[in-house]
């Protein structure tokens, strides 16, 4: 891999790490607030479990964020990795 390729690889890794850090921060805020809401529910009448509404309502975007942070790759990343694989196979 040439120098520019290494620079691009470091940039992709940095972007991947940043995405995952944002996800962990999002998850931490989500978890803290859900615990708080559960405690409010438990200390209250504790009858109808209303805390499940924000749990699922916010849980779905959390799941989507997780997919974005850990699974999704940019089209350019896929193209570069494919080209690197093909270049390796040719060698």
Partner 1 sequence: MRWLLGPYTEARTYRVAAYLLVGLAFGVFEFTVLVTGFSLGVGLLVTIIGLPVLVATFLVARSLATMERRLARSWLDAPLPRRRLAQHEPNGFFWARLRSLTTTPRTWSEVAFLMLRLPMAVLDFTFITALISAILGGFAQPFLVAAGVDTRIGTWSIDTIAESLIFLPFSLVLLVVGARLILGWGELSRRMAAHFLGRLDATELKHEILDILARTEGADAFRILDELGLRLGHGSFLTPTRVEATLIALQSSGHVTVSRDGSRPVFAAA
Our finding on whether 8 is near partner 1 (CB under 8 A) is: yes
| Options 20-28, 38-46, 49-57, 74-82: segment touching partner 1 (CB under 8 A) | 74-82
- Report the distance separating Cα 37 and Cα 34, nearest Å: 5
- Report the distance separating Cα 66 and Cα 68, nearest Å: 5
Cα–Cα distances (Å) from 74 to 15, 39, 81, in that order, read 11, 40, 11
Q: Which two tokens stand for residue 57?
A: 């309502």
Our finding on whether 17 is near partner 1 (CB under 8 A) is: no
State in angstroms the smallest separation of the CB of 59 from partner 1.
24
Our finding on whether 79 is near partner 1 (CB under 8 A) is: yes
Residues that bind partner 1 (CB under 8 A): 2-5, 7-8, 11-12, 15, 74-77, 79-80, 83
């Amino acid at each position: 891999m040439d120098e520019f390729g290494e620079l691009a690889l470091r940039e992709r890794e940095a972007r991947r790490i940043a995405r995952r850090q944002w996800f962990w921060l999002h998850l931490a805020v989500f978890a803290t607030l859900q615990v708080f809401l559960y405690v409010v529910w438990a200390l209250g009448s504790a009858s109808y479990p209303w805390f499940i509404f924000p749990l699922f309502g916010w849980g779905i975007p959390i799941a989507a964020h997780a997919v974005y942070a850990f699974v999704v790759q940019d089209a350019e990343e896929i193209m570069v990795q494919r080209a690197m694989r093909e270049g390796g196979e040719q060698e």
